[in-house]
Structure 1
Amino acid sequence: MFSTSLLVLTSNDRQGKRYTVFFSLLFVVLFILLMLVRDVSAPNDFGNYTIMYEQINSFSDVWVAYHKNYTFSFLQYLGSVIGLSSEQFHTIFSLIISLLVYRAFHLLFEDKKYALIAFALFLLSSTFIFLYANVLRQGLALSLMMLSSAYYWKRKRFSFLAFSVLAFFAHFSAILFFIAVVLAKWLPLRKAIGTFHLILLPLLPIIGYLLIDVVGVASLLQSVEKYSNYDYSSKVFYVKLVVSYLFLVSLFILNKNKYVAQSNENLVEKYTYIYSIYGYLIAASFSLLSIPLMSARVHYFSNALMPMLAVTFLFSSFKLRFEFKIAIVVVVAAAVGMVSYFYPSSASQLGVYGQ
């Protein structure tokens, strides 16, 4: 998968363009094979999803869904009506909702080449593994909100609201993504607002702790309180959160110093929009650090935007030679891919190895 991703990247150079279609198709085939040959029963949550799936015997059962996740429950109902087994349904389900992310990339980029590169980088991430192999309800919510954000950018308000509602009833955390999208459009993180946001971010864990634990906001929401009762001690998450913050700061400084080409106003606005969604989602993760598990779940949302930011920044607007851009992406993709696919806790979710 990683090697083919690199071939997709390098084939987009002028001299290798004639190979782009071939390597793109090869990449898609390998992606589909990965989703089909993995052990769909390996992830931690598969047992719970199977119980939910087998309990849906009629349409009325959809409305007694776990955590009111009606969107996910309805799709399970359709699988049951067709006659699919739990393994068959969740295999097909994971494949389809993963491809919705590519569709969102394509809507935002309006360019198949950039969308495919971003999707290749996305598939190398731990976000892809955890949300599309294990935490399927949140994976569905992410895909729907990615589409929602694309339609909001295109000013298709009905589609934006429709996909947002479906996302919320797939996983309640989608409301934070929704808020980030709206804020990104009406309060973009640039100039003074962007600077203030970066300065405020390190203080948000303290503010969040005061609101959630001292004031007692968590107790007002059953779902939030449920997450606060889980023990979560992943040190890797905190490292990833720091890396995300540094990534956010770096992009802001480079953009502020006008390394981004300003000739294409639409491109600049689109980049700012994606950057702002990412920034607001990082802020949500920081604010929820007193509930580590929930903070980590929200962080998966922001991670999904990193490939778009990287591609938009490097391949569309950053003033560097194409070969140097490729070198940067190769190094980053290799590091991310190696960690994602060989780190035991994430690799085991695929069931191919690492169990």
Structure 2
Amino acid sequence: MHSTPMARTQAHWLWLAPLVLLIALLAGTAIGETSIPVDTILKVLANHLLGANYAVDRIDAGIIWNYRLSRAIVAACCGAALALAGVVLQALLRNPLADPYLMGISAGASTGAVAVTVAGLGAGAFTLSAGAFAGAGLAFGLVVLLAHAASSGTGGGRSNQAAGAIILAGIAGSQLFNALTAFIITKSASAEQARGIMFWLLGNLSGVRWSDVAIAFPAALGGLLICLWHRRALDAFTFGADSAASMGISVRPTRGLLIIAVALVTAIMVSIVGAIGFVGLVIPHAMRFIVGTQHTRLVPASALAGAVFLIGSDILSRTLVPGQVLPIGVITSLIGAPAFALILVRGTRTR
């Protein structure tokens, strides 16, 4: 059986993915308020990773290794993880509008993280990531229960109504947990804490260091491997749970594992960089136009595109306003909202 030219083209980009990601990481490290030549970056990397002894300015070396490179890697991990979360939720819920931000998962994770850090919930027994995971799980559970209550017993057109109900439930859940976050901050945080937390909630990579890389990278890699392992199950879920069961897939355990993975990865990323919107919504849609709907290609494509997109957004957040760093969530929304509107209009016209 011969592969088509389109299939060959779609397969070839996989070999270019590491190169594209490397170029994006180099750009994220080189571009900023002060531009740094690529050869200087390579020398610093050789000094740290290979034990070389190139003569490099100490300030440039500190900026590259301690600030920009770790920041670019965390941005890539966060972008890939959020894009994968969007892919999984859209397949499991059979709803093109599902993503961690709209489903309330990001808002719940933010509430959990703020409750642990500001209100001292758990008296030190919970870490920031554990608090964020608990909040994310609670938010998603609430959204599912609310959507089930809203769509049960509807008779004809139930699947369509259920798809709309879960998005409306997600919006309600997001607003509830955003309000809880604001309440906790107002009640328990000092003025200085409140300013820092509000900036963090909009997405902030300024405080990222190598210790964050050690958390973000395994989480993103684990999420990618889980999605790739269940890629055929995700294909089946796009046609419904009954279709997945008819193909021999254990529906409840598989769906439960994927949802837990999405909640955990989202919580970890939110605990590091705050809530960032539109990545999990726009990137999977854009990649479906390019590589198709099969998750064998869609999963790695979305991970790569999400990583590159968030690195680019971080570059813009540092360079768009001279002398200031914008929250990265502002950049993703400014880019993601028009992009999603374009995707929505194009998708409607092609039906």
- Same fold (TM > 0.5): no
In the superposition, the TM-score normalised over structure 2's length comes to: 0.34
Q: What is the TM-score of this pair, normalised by structure 1? A: 0.34
**Greater RCO structure (CA 8 Å; 6+ sep):** 2
